């Protein structure tokens, strides 16, 4: 059985909390990546049981963030949303949840069977 896939829109999730992330976008993405690592084994409570394949999609100034145990990092060559849609499309045969608050992105990934969850799912306020 294939593990469920959790795709996280780094820019959207990081931007959901005004904690000064704009001063260090890469550092903010790295902190998010580190928080996501715990979900790989244990899953996301109330949403997805573990183990999970966790993918963090970064773009712009956050490119260059390295993966860590349990979290694959994909640097979008262009728009992060397009990369997320491509990943959701490729995961059509497995359970896939995209974490973002972006309404248009939610619509686009739903066309490929992905579920969506808001940023608070992985970044509680």
**125 pLDDT exceeds 70?**
no
Segment 16-71, tens digit of pLDDT: 888 888 889 999 999 999 999 999 999 999 899 999 999 999 999 899 999 999 99
Q: What proportion of the chain, given as a percentage, has pLDDT over 90? A: 84
Cα separation, 47 vs 5, in Å, equals 12
How far is CA 47 from each of CA 56, 71, 95, 99, 120, rounded to the nearest angstrom? Answer: 17, 18, 11, 11, 12
**107 pLDDT exceeds 70?**
yes
């Amino acid at each position: 059985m294939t593990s469920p896939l959790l795709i996280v829109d780094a820019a959207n999730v990081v931007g959901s909390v005004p904690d000064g992330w704009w001063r260090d976008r890469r550092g903010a993405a790295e902190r998010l990546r580190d928080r996501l690592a715990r979900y790989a084994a244990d899953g996301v409570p109330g949403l997805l049981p573990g183990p999970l394949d966790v993918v963090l999609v970064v773009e712009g100034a956050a490119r260059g963030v390295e993966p860590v145990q349990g979290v694959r990092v994909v640097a979008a060559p262009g728009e992060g949303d397009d990369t997320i849609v491509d990943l959701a499309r490729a995961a059509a045969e497995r359970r896939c949840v995209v974490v973002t608050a972006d309404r248009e992105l939610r619509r686009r990934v739903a066309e490929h069977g992905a579920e969506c969850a808001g940023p608070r799912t992985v970044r509680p306020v």
